[in-house]
Structure 1
Amino acid sequence: MPSAIRLSPADHRRVPWRNGGGVTTELAVEHLPDAGSLPGGETRFLWRVSIADISGAGPFSSFSGYDRLIAVVEGDGMRLSVDGAPPVECRRMGPAFAFPGEAAVWCEPTGGPIRDVNLMLDRASAAGALTLLTGAGGGAVRQAQGDVVLVHALAGTLAIGVDGGEAMAVPAGHSLLLRGMAGAVSVEAPAGAEGFCAEVRRR
């Protein structure tokens, strides 16, 4: 059954990093029933979307069995070295970078503190995409598809359209969680707006 749930900052949850290096803000998560626990007693999840603040260089926590997509939404950018490979540079509002959750990752901000968005996916059960949208230059539109689509506004107001339904507005700091949509979800960032779209497809 299709559903659309609005999420406000009051629905967010602050979660400590596994390695003790900081705190992440969990926007939305779907847990896997009867799938056991992660280290530290966490419940294993199918997917999770979160935003983290990084103030300095350091390692990422390990998430074995997960695929991760990450993108910078505030600050200059960061360099990520995965399993000792040459660093990859991620710039603000640039394309998401994908890597295995169990990889050894070293992060170094390139110009002061940053904020990033993470989409984590249980590799055995789901695949997905993370797309950043900016209204700079006249606007941007994403035709999103998936069993689950999470849209979050970073600045301004995003416009969301679904087949056979009325357009919905998502203001800055808020999210829209869509499930079971039959067709593509149109996500528009008009001039002055910024946001991102996480798409999850069950395997």
Structure 2
Amino acid sequence: MPSVTRLTPADHRRVPWKNGGGVTTELAVEPMADGRFLWRVSIADVVEPGPFSAFPGYDRLIAVVEGDGMRLSVDGAPPVERHRMDPAFAFPGEAPVWCEPTAGPIRDVNLMLDRASATGALTLLTGPASGCADGRRVDGHRAGGAVVLVHALAGTLTVTLDGAGALSVPVGHSLLLRDAAALVEVEAAAEGVCAEVRLR
């Protein structure tokens, strides 16, 4: 049966990085019996260059949502740059990663997935006149899967479940959907993120 759970900032949990280099804010997480998690969506502030924590057995998707951007060096490969609201960048959680903000502190959103159990996608949503440098925008996004997490970064998002009414998601809040399909719409100048988890 489909289910819908509203999450407010009071539901968020501040968690130290595994390497001690900072703190991440968990928007939502699904624990497993062995102490690992099946998936996690979180937001982290990066204020200075440094390594990422290692998460063996996980696939990671990351995107910059505040600040200019970051430069990632993954497992010795040439550095990759991602700027604010660029498409998410995927990499293996066990790979050594060095992160360097390109012009001051940034905030990024992360989707982590237990590789043996799940796949997923991380989509950034921007409404008209939201200020994306290259003019791109996504006014509506069809989402579905075992789990869908919709989080409002700015303004208000509207989530319409198939066969049901519309739900508003204000800034800083999230909507957690299970076994449901929905249309996520973004009002003018609003921004958000949609994480979709599919079980293997």
Q: TM-score scaled by structure 2?
A: 0.94
One-letter amino acid of the structure 2 residue matched with residue 173 of structure 1? G
SS in 1 for 2:145: coil
Letter in 1 for 2:26: E
1:123 CA drift (Å): 0.1
Query: What is the Cα deviation at residue 155 of structure 1?
Result: 0.4
> Structure 1: 5+ residue runs without aligned partners?
37-42
One-letter code aligned to 2:43: I
User: Is 1:198 equivalent to 2:190 in the alignment?
Assistant: no
Structure 2: gaps spanning 5 or more residues: 130-136
What percentage of aligned pairs have identical amino acids? 75
- CA distance in 2 between counterparts of 1:23 and 1:15 reads 6
How many Å apart are 1:28 and its aligned residue?
0.2
Distance 1:106 1:4 in 2: 37
Structure-2 residue corresponding to 1:148: 147
Following superposition, the deviation at residue 139 of structure 1 comes to 5.6
Instruction: State the superposition RMSD in angstroms.
Output: 1.0
The answer to whether structure 1 residue 64 and structure 2 residue 61 are counterparts is: no
Structure 1 distance, partners of 2:175, 2:122, is 15
Q: How does 1:42-81 map to 2 (within 5 A)?
A: 43-81=35-73
Equivalent-residue separation in structure 2 for 1:172 and 1:114 (angstroms): 18
Q: Mean Cα displacement is larger for which, 185-194 or 45-54?
A: 185-194
Q: Whole-Å Cα distance in 2 between the matches of residues 94 and 135 of structure 1?
A: 14
Q: Secondary structure at the match of 1:146?
A: strand
- One-letter code of the match for 1:9? P
| Ranges of 4+ aligned residues in structure 1 off by more than 4 Å | none
Q: Residue 19 of structure 1 corresponds to which residue in structure 2? A: 19
1:44–1:139 distance in 2 versus 1, CA, 3 Å: closer
Aligned length: 193
TM-score by length of 1: 0.93
Partner of 1:98: 90
**2:125 is equivalent to residue 123 of structure 1:** no
Check whether the contact 1:139–1:190 (CA below 8 A) recurs between aligned residues: no
Superposition deviation, residue 136 in structure 1: 3.3
